[in-house]
Structure 1
Amino acid sequence: MVAADLIALPFCFLVAILLRGGDLDLVSGFSPASYFLVAVVTVTTFSVSDLYRAVIRFIDQRLLSITGLSLAVAILCAYVVMFIINEKSFPRSALAIYWFVGFSYVVASRVGMRNFLRNQDLRGRRVSEVVAIYGAGEAGARLAQTMHGGDEYRPVCFFDDKHALNERKIGALRVFNTERLVEIVNAMCIRSIVIAIPSVSPARLRDIMNRLSKAGISTRILSRLVDLAGETPSPHEAIRELKFEDLLGRPPVPPRIDLFARCVRGKTVLVTGAGGSIGSELCRQIVTLAPSHMHLLDHSEFALYTIRQELTTRFPDLHIVAHLGSVCNADLVGRILRDSKVDTIYHAAAYKHVPLVESNIVEGMRNNVVGAQVIAAQAALHHVKTCVLISSDKAVRPTNVMGASKRIAELIFQAAATRPETSTTFAMVRFGNVLGSSGSVIPLFQRQISQGGPITITHPEMSRYFMLIPEAAQLVIQAGAMAKGGDVFVLEMGEPVKIVDLARSLIALSGLTEKTLQNPNGDIEVRYVGLFPGEKLHEELLIDGTVIPSEHPRIMRMKENALPPSVLDTFIACLMMACETNDRAMIESMARAIVPEYNPQQALAVPTAVPISQSSTQLSVIKKFVPFRM
């Protein structure tokens, strides 16, 4: 570079003098040494600006800009020197012309050599993927430039919704309107599309996905804004696979750090159902908050072994104890709390799959109700400071056995909070559907897509609230920190999402198309199979309770009606007696006595809540089991 500049820069100065004088007379008035001296001064300036330390194939706009500024400083210094020595024979305007000529030479030579070297590197390599960029804005333009510098992707065009950009060019790539998406994808053999729209909202992203699904190609998204003026990530770093969380319909809710560790740091923590989807994520987040001891309880040997191995590998110095057994075993739970002096309990153990619990009503009721009763009683007996129940939105005006059992569990915790002798703070957390948890629709749909379809949906209008597994675990931990006693906490989850929209988004994410009457050659069919017994079209999060602001702006706190502890204990005893009979009608009648809004006959309707104090069903049903006076 130094040798090339020492040869080329004297000619740049000669061109500047020639442009200034208009003929050779002015040029001949200076000796060759003058031209060489200008080149030496310029090279010295370039050396100060670190131009000669740069690797040519990675030279960037920032370094060239600094070089131009350094050249301008050198010329300014030359002006000052001429003014001081009062040199009048030299045309000073030639120096300004020399800046433009010299800088043009520097940019052209470096960029030209950079492109030559990169082309030599790419020669013989196979470009792995032909892509298009969705979004012809600044981020898309930067991404295209970054892709041109690597061999992982070869961008061929832009797509954009703006009609004003149709058939325009950005760099060397043409912009097409999204109305021509299928046509252009097929014509250019595009294999995937990268969405390059910074801070795109989930609703807008779902709309984009619906458009891209017509093309039947895979979709990626720009994960980092490419900065060509500074640090430039590789295309592999800048682009990631589009995750289903991107289509959640709202931005994830961040936790409040000051609430996060309040019930965990330096404390002994017990998680029941530790091997489940929610329980295991709870454990993963809890161990990062430096508890003094960690206890895991689960009835599944494999699930308990798996989560214990994971936690001990990540945190070998943390004291972690795994207990194999059921939460319905009061002796086991009592022994754990007594021997370990547990400070905080997160009760995640429950049967939650609606169709399975619906067809196994006795075991579903026993596990969910007795488990909550044992945890609440033992927590109060052994003076646990905080005890949090993980409930479900299906507990609100339930139409299935699982929802009814979870509402009874809530009533148990609410009653436990009202007992005058208790020193334990009891709280409940209601979840919507948790993306990626066992039994959720996403793993089911992904499995059906991998098998070639069809995707089965119970009803075209079915909708659900969704949250991420980390959000669910963070909500539980923060709820324990904010609880005052008997509180119900619910995450503000935005608008419910239609299940059929989720299915279509997953089809698009897989690079496939939906098979319909209008598109009989599509890949995956969406088939409606009808509602399962006890299944609702739409879930709710609130009963008729009072909503109170919590310490977190996106978490709602509620106070809801509860039964007196003595009455609830009698009801539950009768419910367990009904379970002994294995008579479904009797069990459902007893459940309705405890939860008047439970309506197993109407899965499609949302019945009006009946205040517990106004229910005449309670007395009539309970008298069938126990002769007593109230």
Structure 2
Amino acid sequence: MFTDKTILITGGTGSFGKKCVEVLLRSYKPKRLIIFSRDELKQFEMGQKFSPEEFPCMRYFIGDVRDKERLCRAFRGVDYVIHAAALKQVPAAEYNPTECIRTNIGGAENIVNVAADSGVKKVVALSTDKAVAPVNLYGATKLCSDKLFIAANAFTACETVYSVVRYGNVMGSRGSVIPFFIKQREAGGPLTITDTRMTRFWITLEESVHMVLRSFEIAGGGEVLVPKIPSMKITDLAEAIAPGMPTVEVGIRPGEKLHETMITAEDSRHTIDIGDYYVIKPETFKYKGLDGKPVAEGFEYNSGTNEEWLSVPELRDTLKKQCFAIR
């Protein structure tokens, strides 16, 4: 569905955006592939790898999602939008709350309105586990963002379809603990772990891209798509990276959770299982999208109680395939 279409990625110079461009260029033939972001250096560096000379469909558009006028210019003739732009660093968001709000909430509102006015066919916004029962400002702003995209299907009075994809930790993305553990291993240890009980959902960057691209095919509008992915224990990850190396527990950080939750028990009343995804249906308007089997009332999708787990050997194998320095 992406061949001969124009696709725009906000925050396109981030980890997700770069991998998404790689997959789109490898598997499809887009008419135009627009990278919309505010960092000129990152755009320049990305342009060295995906140059318009080698890939004529590539476009690099400097802009900020806070700037509605600039978005209007960028969205002309665009068929599909992947909204990946956000201020994501938890401590930075706590220290600069208004900046986080302006980008993550105000920016989302701009995307909704400009996509409607520009005739965009479908918008898929990236969400996070931190938007579920948020304990920090970043999570709270992403929850607001999710609500904006869901509600847009009812109030924009246009043909644009808006959906949300929510997943957990992405292996190797910015802020990942993996490079941190590898650096500590090379220094002779020990590895510092915030809490030995901690668990996380686990997904590779390429898997996250394929899930988002598939959502364009199946989403009906107004749902939150939650892929079924495995969990891992932080202690198992440490063992996979540095076998036998001692660890030190340093205490959980402000705004951090022991376990990730992607679907709460309260959401179970309007959540369905469609096989490889859970779908949280909207409550405020009649949903005309996907059909599936209702989950049990009180069901919660939590990394600590997940049915699928990655073992230490599986973690090591996955890390090696992702080209991390695993001995």
Tell me, yes or no, whether TM beats 0.5.
yes
Tell me if structure 1 keeps the 8 A contact 2:128–2:168.
yes
Cα distance change of structure 1 residues 356 and 529 upon mapping to structure 2, 3 Å threshold:
farther
- TM-score, structure 1 length as denominator? 0.43
User: Superposed, which structure 2 residues align to 1:52-63 within 5 Å?
Assistant: none
Q: In structure 1, which of residues 464, 467, 477 is the aligned counterpart of residue 203 of structure 2?
A: 467
Aligned to 1:548: 272
The SS at the match of 1:430 is strand
Q: Give the Å deviation of 1:480.
A: 1.4
Out of 165, 184, 201, which is 1:448 matched to?
Answer: 184
CA positional deviation for 1:317: 4.3
- Equivalent position of 1:348 in the other structure: 84
Quote the residue 2:294 is aligned against.
none
- Structure 2 match to 1:388: 124
Match of 1:557 among 279, 287, 290: 279
1:514 matched residue in structure 2 = 245
Unaligned 5+ runs, structure 1: 1-261, 516-525, 564-630
Partner of 1:218: none
Is residue 287–residue 311 contact of structure 1 (8 Å, CA) maintained in 2?
no
CA deviation after TM superposition for structure 1 residue 328, in Å? 1.0
Render the CA deviation track for 1:257-300: whole Å, top value 9, x for unaligned: xxxxx2x1110000011110111111111222111111101112
| Structure 2 counterparts to residues 233-244 of structure 1, below 5 A | none
What is the identity, as a one-letter code, of the residue corresponding to 2:135?
Answer: T
More strand by share: 2
Give yes or no for contact 1:389–1:427 (8 Å, CA) kept in 2. yes
- Specify the SS of the correspondent of 2:119: coil
Task: Tell me which protein shows more helix as a share of its residues.
Answer: 1
Q: Find the counterpart in structure 2 of residue 61 from structure 1.
A: none
Alignment match of 1:307 (pick from 35, 39, 46): 46
CA deviation after TM superposition for structure 1 residue 491, in Å: 1.1
TM-score by length of 2: 0.82
Match of 2:224 in 1: 488
The 5 Å alignment of 1:597-616 reads none
Cα distance between partner residues in 1 of 2:283 and 2:146: 11
CA separation in 2, counterparts of 1:317 and 1:402? Answer: 35
Aligned to 2:20: 282
Kindly provide the amino acid, as one letter, of the partner of residue 29 in structure 2. Answer: A
Q: Distance in 2 between matches of 1:450 and 1:548?
A: 45
Amino acid corresponding to residue 146 of structure 2 in structure 1: E
SS of alignment partner, residue 490 of structure 1 = strand
Distance 1:562 1:349 in 2: 26
Alignment RMSD? 1.7
Query: Is the 1:425–1:485 contact (alpha carbons within 8 Å) kept by the matching residues of 2?
Result: yes
With a CA cutoff of 8 Å and minimum separation of 6, indicate the structure with the bigger relative contact order.
2
Find out whether 1:529 has 2:250 as its counterpart: yes
> Are residue 334 (structure 1) and residue 55 (structure 2) matched?
no
Residue in structure 1 matching 2:240, options 491, 505, 509 = 505
**3-state SS, counterpart of residue 9 of structure 2:** strand
Q: Distance in 1 between matches of 2:213 and 2:146?
A: 17
Is 1:422 equivalent to 2:158 in the alignment?
yes
Quick one: distance in 1 between partners of 2:96 and 2:254? 12
| Structure 2 counterpart of 1:269 | 7
Hey, what's the Cα distance between the residues in 2 that align with 1:365 and 1:453?
A: 38
Report the counterpart of residue 300 of structure 2 in structure 1. Answer: none
CA contact (8 A) 1:269 1:343 kept: yes
How big is each residue's C-alpha offset from its partner over 1:189-214, in whole Å with a ceiling of 9 and x where there is no partner? xxxxxxxxxxxxxxxxxxxxxxxxxx
Counterpart mapping for 1:399-414 below 5 A: 399-414=135-150
- Pairwise CA distance, 1:404: 0.8
- Tell me, yes or no, if the aligned pair for 2:191 and 2:245 is still in contact at 8 Å: no
Q: Is the 8 A contact 2:168 2:203 kept in 1?
A: yes
The one-letter code sitting in structure 2 at the alignment partner of 1:349 is: A
Q: Confirm whether residue 358 of structure 1 aligns to residue 94 of structure 2.
A: yes
Gaps of 5+ in 2: 286-327
Whether the aligned pair in 2 keeps the contact of 1:268 and 1:294 (CA below 8 Å) is: yes
Counterpart residue type for residue 333 of structure 1 = L
AA in 1 matched with 2:245? E
- 1:326 to 1:501, Cα distance in 2 relative to 1, 3 A: same
How many pairs are equivalent?
Answer: 281
Give the distance between the partners of 1:514 and 1:317, measured in 2 at CA: 45
SS in structure 2 at match of 1:303: helix
Work out whether 1:367 is the aligned partner of 2:103: yes
Identify which of 27, 30, 35 aligns with 1:296: 35
Residues 113 and 156 in structure 2, CA contact (< 8 A), matched pair in contact too: no
2:112 to 367, 376, 383: 376
SS of 1:375's equivalent? helix
Deviation at 1:302, TM superposition (A): 2.0
Distance, in Å, in 2 between the alignment partners of 1:358 and 1:334 is: 30
Amino-acid identity (%): 35
Tell whether the 8 Å contact from 1:272 to 1:298 is kept in structure 2 after alignment.
yes
- Secondary structure of 1:514 counterpart: coil
Contact in 2 for aligned 1:411/1:562 (Cα 8 Å): no
Secondary structure of 2:221's aligned partner: coil
Distance 2:55 2:170 in 1: 31
Distance 1:350 1:308 in 2: 21
Q: Indicate conservation of the 8 Å contact 1:492/1:556, yes or no.
A: yes
State the 1:556 CA deviation.
Answer: 2.2
Compared CA separation, residues 434 and 317, structure 1 to 2 (3 A): closer
**Partner in structure 1 of residue 292 of structure 2:** none
Q: Which residue of 1 aligns with 2:325?
A: none
